[in-house]
Structure 1
Amino acid sequence: MKIPKELINGFIIFLGIGIFFLVLEALGFADNYLLRFFNIIFIFYGTIRTLRSNFREGNKSLPLNAVSAVYTSFSGVLLSVLGLIIFITIKGGDAFIETLSRNFLFGGTPSVVKYSFSLLLEGFVSAGLVSFLLMLYWDPKYKSDKHGAKKIEK
């Protein structure tokens, strides 16, 4: 059984984000919410890998590539949030969340479920934006019809 490239690249996104956050944790920067915005780099990387692979394989259908890009980025985000839930549970659950950035999304003390759900929503939004931006970038590379755009003459 061959694993789809979208899932492989989603796993690469997961590894990149996971290693990035483990390094932040080891260096003591896990509570700095500004550094968390850099995880979008890994989403861009994995999604670009999928689109490049599709283009090399001759897949020039814009809708199919858009679905492929969304599938890649969403799978990476979903795997990352599942990994975070496991990590938080190992580190102490709700008590560990209190040590993370208080400026993130909540005032007060969020639970593991609330924290993970908010990260999942944030991740899906960023994954959707990344996919949309990359499709805008790759759009000129795809032909919408075999004859190209027709000029309108007056």
Structure 2
Amino acid sequence: MKFKRELTNGILIFVLMGIYFLIMESAKLSHIFYLRIFNIVFVIYGVNRTIKGNYEAGVRGYFTHLMGAMMTSMIGAVLSIAALLVYLKSKGGAGYLNDHPMRYIFGSETTSVEYFCIGLFFEAAAASLAVSFCLMQYWKDKVEVINKVD
């Protein structure tokens, strides 16, 4: 397993999500929940690239692939949350966040931007696990078929 692949794909997730959310914010569409949840597509794309690259490189072991997948998604999540923290602070902090529809993620007014980002981190960790496990099951079946052909 090459950490470079996980880092590259994690940064790719971060860049794609950043561009997507900046486009949504500038188009005044950030209040639409279904568009905000679409970011999972970028996570799936980046994690899938990592798993596929590891299989093509001959990396073996379910746990190795799973850890690579989780590292990729968590790198993307941590970078994205850090960028969001900087963005929210530059826009006015909790005041901006409470006026923004994004606050409905947790259902109440936010007392601090840091607490909001911590909550997002736990949400991202759960999503990372789910995406990683689902994609591992997908690739596990594909690899078993490839191995039977060889």
Task: Name the TM tier (shorter chain).
Answer: 0.7 to 0.9
Q: Structure 2 CA distance, aligned partners of 1:33 and 1:118?
A: 17
Q: Structure 1 CA distance, aligned partners of 2:77 and 2:118?
A: 12
Q: Structure 1 CA distance, aligned partners of 2:135 and 2:65?
A: 10
Where does structure 2 lack aligned partners over 5 or more consecutive residues? none
**Equivalent residue, structure 1, for 2:29:** 29
Kindly state the Cα deviation for residue 62 of structure 1 after the two structures are TM-superposed. 1.3
Aligned residues: 144
Percent identity for Structure 1 against Structure 2: 33
Q: Structure 2 CA distance, aligned partners of 1:34 and 1:106?
A: 16
Q: Structure 2 CA distance, aligned partners of 1:93 and 1:108?
A: 12
Q: Structure 2 CA distance, aligned partners of 1:108 and 1:83?
A: 21
Which structure would you say has the larger Rg? 1
Which ranges of 4 or more aligned residues in structure 1 deviate by more than 6 Å? none
| 1:111 alignment partner AA | S
Q: Structure 2 CA distance, aligned partners of 1:89 and 1:97?
A: 9
* TM-score normalised according to structure 1 size: 0.86
Q: Structure 1 CA distance, aligned partners of 2:80 and 2:112?
A: 18
Kindly state the Cα deviation for residue 4 of structure 1 after the two structures are TM-superposed. 1.2
Q: Structure 2 CA distance, aligned partners of 1:140 and 1:109?
A: 43
Deviation string for 1:36-73 (max 9, x for gaps)? 11010000000011111111111132111111101101
* TM-score normalised according to structure 2 size: 0.88
Which protein has the bigger helix share?
2
**Equivalent residue, structure 2, for 1:129:** 130
Q: Is the 8 A contact 1:62 1:142 kept in 2?
A: no
Kindly state the Cα deviation for residue 94 of structure 1 after the two structures are TM-superposed. 1.3
Alignment of 1:1-154 (within 5 A): 4-101=4-101, 102-142=103-143
Deviates most, 5-14 or 57-66? 57-66
Where does structure 1 lack aligned partners over 5 or more consecutive residues? 149-154
Please give the secondary structure, in 2, of the residue aligned with 1:107: coil
Please give the secondary structure, in 2, of the residue aligned with 1:110: coil
| 2:20 alignment partner AA | F
| 2:59 alignment partner AA | N
Q: Is the 8 A contact 2:110 2:116 kept in 1?
A: no
